[in-house]
Structure 1
């Protein structure tokens, strides 16, 4: 394999558990409760615009009322406060990624400025810069394959030479649609016990539940290709 493409939220940093907690608490407070597993499957990994459009429809169906004008501002304020306090690297990310022999980059639904802020905040940005790609760069965010294909083109790698490391259903769908190998990554605390099975069901080739096993999983694709 030539290139490993890392998602950011829930793969490099623990932001998904922070977002999930903040968003579900706020939604419940306005009378729009969601079951965490179904919320993750539906909304995690989407580009901001897609997330907003899909969430608006769901919330208005649940509450029977139009969204308040400050709905997304309220969620953003709560989430940003918690990110500034709690954001951290997923354990063993740096020491594992430094040992991976392939080219590497980040391809995330997070807007570019916030994406770089997260990586800088936890001290991982030097592992990837300048190869940091956000959904701002493409017309269609995940689950469309556009972002992963953009990253591969920028890194001069063919899709079949790429491995995507993803924790979300939408990210797995995007990686497979791009014609890439996909590792379903479940090391984040937001991943419930059967999340790996869910990712396999949506096309992930293999599940890795901790960084210590990631390098071997990447090598396994090379072994399969040679067989």
Structure 2
């Protein structure tokens, strides 16, 4: 890889730095099944991973309305979020994410995190896994922008804060929504497959969404940097 092609590296958080997507999917699906909404893990990944919570719940409420011809109950969001929180104790770092953050900073000096997570959840996950200080200070939530992924807003915001040309930013993303957001921002996107939620065929979907290559893990990422 030609390192001179990029001035900055921007990481997604969930499913790239921390293995949180697989936990959220487990807890949320269990909660949704109690409401009568059933999704396979693969369908859930394709449909929801990478969305900000506001868009996530908009789609879920639409699904509920179509399934039952009525509105979801008032406690719908609270119970889905409670399902997500039930699994948070098992949160782990994606293997070698710490080394990847250090190496990216050595190569480019400018690194950032652009996440669909709500701001307080984002910081908490990175702090609990010991990654926050490695990624800070440029850690940004889609809470800060008008539109979450797949819109480009959070990536453009992060590039602005990094004082980097979007065309010279490399993005690591694990979701189709995230890949589309990075591409819409005019950035080069690599699809990351190291999270526990990446099922068979996930890499092909990331490539179809616009990723120029896929990486099985951070060993492959580090190898690309020599």
Query: Which band: TM-score by shorter chain?
Result: over 0.9
Alignment match, 1:42: 47
Q: Where has structure 1 moved over 6 Å in runs of 4 or more?
A: none
> 1:149 Cα shift?
0.5
CA contact (8 A) 1:96 1:215 kept: yes
Three-state SS of the structure 1 residue aligned to 2:140 is strand
Whole-angstrom CA distance in 1 between matches of 2:65 and 2:24: 20
Of the three residues 93, 98, 103, the one matched with 1:94 is 98
Alignment match, 1:201: 208
> 1:218 Cα shift?
5.6
The correspondence of residues 130-169 of structure 1 with structure 2, limited to 5 A, is: 130-169=137-176
Structure 1, gaps ≥5 residues long: 220-227
The correspondence of residues 71-220 of structure 1 with structure 2, limited to 5 A, is: 71-83=76-88, 85-100=89-104, 101-102=107-108, 103-217=110-224
Whole-angstrom CA distance in 2 between matches of 1:61 and 1:23: 19
| Per-residue deviation, residues 129-154 of structure 1 (Å, max 9, x unmatched) | 11111111111110000110010011
CA contact (8 A) 2:27 2:85 kept: no
CA contact (8 A) 1:208 1:217 kept: no
**What TM-score does the superposition give when structure 1 sets the normalisation length?**
0.92
Alignment match, 2:3: none
Structure 2, gaps ≥5 residues long: 1-5
CA contact (8 A) 1:141 1:147 kept: yes
